[in-house]
Homo-oligomer: A and B are copies of this chain.
Amino acid sequence: MVAAAAGVSASTVSRVYSHPHLLRADTVERVRKVADDLGYVPHFTARALITGRLSTIGVVVPDIANPFFPPVIRAVQARAGEVGVGTLLGDTDEDPVKEESVLLALQQRTDGVVLVSSRMPEPRIQKMAAGHPLVLVNRDVEGVDRVLIETTLGMRQAVEHLARLGHRRIAYLGGPESSWSNGERAAAVSDCAGRLGIEVISLGPHRPEHEEGRRAAAAVLTAGVTGVLAFDDVLAQGLLAGLVEAGARVPADVSLVGCDDILAVRTVPPLSTVHGPSMEAGRLAVELLLAKIEGQATDPQAVRVPAPFLDRATTGPAPG
């Protein structure tokens, strides 16, 4: 044991690692040296047992493979890492039932969790939030801390942009029904178009996957619209491929807008989209969560970050 080798008590060794300022500098140094020589590091679990702090948070997402999530996971992990907090990962496979069990499992081994794009019904979320610190991202539940990327802003701007370009009949290519973001975006498109006297066809729902978007090309073409707003970039990219295959030109024949800006300029032509600060959202969520864990009990709040429209190359004047 280190204490014996350094000729001090166990409490002193403990203090070297938790409150070194309470000790004489030379004592700290001496114990540190002995400990290093012996390869000693404080036992993580024993410390957690007595302090009641795991120094670990969870982050759960519907699907790690969906390119929207890795940047927010990365931001969460980076911010948590800065303060010595580990990040446990949960993937729910887009399944609300699995989501609940994943959440339950994580609650036991974390001090709190960041729940991104939850697919669970609202009452369940409230229940989970009651027992354990919880911060939502992209899900708006009263009484629960949350960070919301306001893509409705960008969606409205996109509709206005299409209106200026002369489009009179457009489509919204819907995402998952249980997605809060999808509801927000659909409503924004519908409201804004209504005010501008533009007709909106609603397509979907669709899982946010490339193939789904590709297959939706037929429905888009038969709907006779000149512009499409997709739930996200993945669907938009798929639709783009499907459209090109079907012989339609983008944006000459149909204009296309994605959402989330996860493809950057990887598309040909570069995709017009709505850009949300997803990494900042992840960071903010951790901030809220850490404050909550520290017991700084403020009223649950909604932090909103704006996501503006980004015009690249898939929108153009309405044909004809």
Contacts and interface: CB of A to CB of B under 8 A. Distances in A.
Interface residues of A, number: 41
A89 B73 contact: yes
Interface in A25-52: 41, 44-46, 48-49
A268 interface: yes
B88 A87 contact: yes
Contact of A64 (B49, B54, B70): B70
Interface string A72-100: 01100110010010111111000000000
Interface stretch (A6-14, A104-112, A144-152, A220-228): A104-112
A108 B74 contact: no
Contacts of A54: 45
A264 interface: yes
A19 interface: no
A80 to B, nearest CB: 10
B44 A46 contact: no
A179 interface: no
A71 interface: yes
A202 interface: no
Contacts of A70: 64-65, 70
A237 B266 contact: yes
A49 B46 CA distance: 6
A300 interface: no
10 contacts: A41-B108, A44-B109, A55-B109, A67-B67, A74-B91, A77-B89, A77-B90, A78-B91, A81-B105, A210-B264
Given A44-B109, A64-B70, A70-B70, 11 more contacts: A45-B45, A45-B48, A45-B54, A49-B49, A56-B109, A65-B70, A65-B71, A81-B105, A237-B266, A241-B266, A268-B268
